[in-house]
Structure 1
């Protein structure tokens, strides 16, 4: 489809000769907020890294607005898993956010006052402006996640990828992050989020991608978030329980 924001075609990838992704194919339309769900080891993080050329693909292709990643990378924002970041690196919150502008500034140039102001405004949007000069190692997990989201926001990208941004954060941070993600969607941005909490999928995402090595189902959440697709994706590791008028999903991994 020509107007797709993301087109993944027959992508396969492996780690140490173990196939992690096999023949993954899907398209994502602009202005959508997609949750990527699946069991541990399903290849969710690998999918993001492969799409962003951070991990080699064995087969297949990925395009963004019909362009390869290298030609469009300035229009793409990425928030990695918090556990993959060296939080002991000696820098403060404002500098971390400013790093999101280096694609525009250039790595060898100093950020201007305007760049610093944009970074501070992104911190403010995440409720973190009072921590601008705080070392990132001194921030809580939720605060660190807000800073990393601010770094992605300051890029003003068209497509955002986020790897478990809600993992291990407090309820207030979770709601703050989801408010921002829904605002991005309303602005026509395309957002894909690796997500672990099946309970909140229908509230948080308008589209969902079920992944377990390959795509099990993908589409509008109202249509594809079903007991059948959950069973295909998770096998016997989930329970579908009716509580009042709602169906509640319990993961028993």
Structure 2
């Protein structure tokens, strides 16, 4: 089995007095493409935010490559939920992607020609080069998601976290995003995705993590994506899926 690149032990997190994550422990193998699935309110986005130091943990131990997040954060890329972003901010697509390079550029410094070139190349990979100078507020939801994925790509990270990147996008954008994630995976990158569509899990992901405040099951998709684990995670309140053992 691959050496874990992420290790989480006994994680607990809450919003005010409401516990959202309880005794969460798991590890993610290097080079895996993992779906985090679970019902609304299960703590999927919160888990991602806690791992990325965007929300505090009450207790628990989290390491990346055996080290704390702050020591390796340049090796980690993140695509948040599209709904959490202020798309009315007056900037164009190329500038949004260039923001992914500020670890290299340095804050309060102007990007150089080579930085802009790298950002444009990332937009090309997502089929968005024609929109480089379009205001982000003028883009469709699917186009905005492609721009945010390009911003993550330009970082050339080793681990990518993506919170519902396929939510609310058209079929062509979904195919383009998944093709990009699989290319990253083929390059040995580790990709973790909060995902909502159980019907595509087996086609899209090689690992799956079932979450409902705590870990219900986690492992290779072929081993753990089953009717029993879906029932245990969703409480039986879900329309049945054909083809799942």
TM-score bucket of the superposed structures, by smaller chain: over 0.9
Structure 1 runs of 4+ aligned residues shifted over 4 Å read none
Question: What stretches of structure 2 of length at least 5 have no aligned partner?
Answer: none
Equivalent positions of 1:200-219 (< 5 A) are 200-219=200-219
RMSD: 1.3
TM-score using structure 1 length: 0.95
Partner SS, residue 240 of structure 2: strand
Distance in 2 (alpha carbons) for counterparts of 1:143 and 1:2: 35
* Map of 1:59 onto structure 2: 59
Tell me how far 1:108 sits from its aligned partner.
Answer: 1.7
Moved more, 144-153 or 3-12: 3-12
Whether 2:140 is the aligned partner of 1:131: answer no
Q: What per-residue deviation string (whole Å, max 9, x for no partner) do you get for residues 155-177 of structure 1?
A: 00000000000000000000000
Query: 1:129/1:215 Cα in 2 relative to 1: closer, same or farther (>3 Å)?
Result: same
Question: What stretches of structure 1 of length at least 5 have no aligned partner?
Answer: 249-253
Tell me how far 1:247 sits from its aligned partner.
Answer: 4.0
Whether 2:224 is the aligned partner of 1:224: answer yes
Distance in 1 (alpha carbons) for counterparts of 2:166 and 2:66: 30
* Map of 2:180 onto structure 1: 180
The alignment covers a number of residue pairs equal to 245
Whether 2:130 is the aligned partner of 1:92: answer no
* Map of 1:251 onto structure 2: none
Query: 1:3/1:231 Cα in 2 relative to 1: closer, same or farther (>3 Å)?
Result: same
Q: What per-residue deviation string (whole Å, max 9, x for no partner) do you get for residues 142-201 of structure 1?
A: 000000000000000000000000000000000000000001110000000000000000
* Map of 1:113 onto structure 2: 113
Distance in 2 (alpha carbons) for counterparts of 1:205 and 1:3: 18
Query: 1:215/1:87 Cα in 2 relative to 1: closer, same or farther (>3 Å)?
Result: same
* Map of 2:233 onto structure 1: 233
Query: 1:96/1:241 Cα in 2 relative to 1: closer, same or farther (>3 Å)?
Result: closer
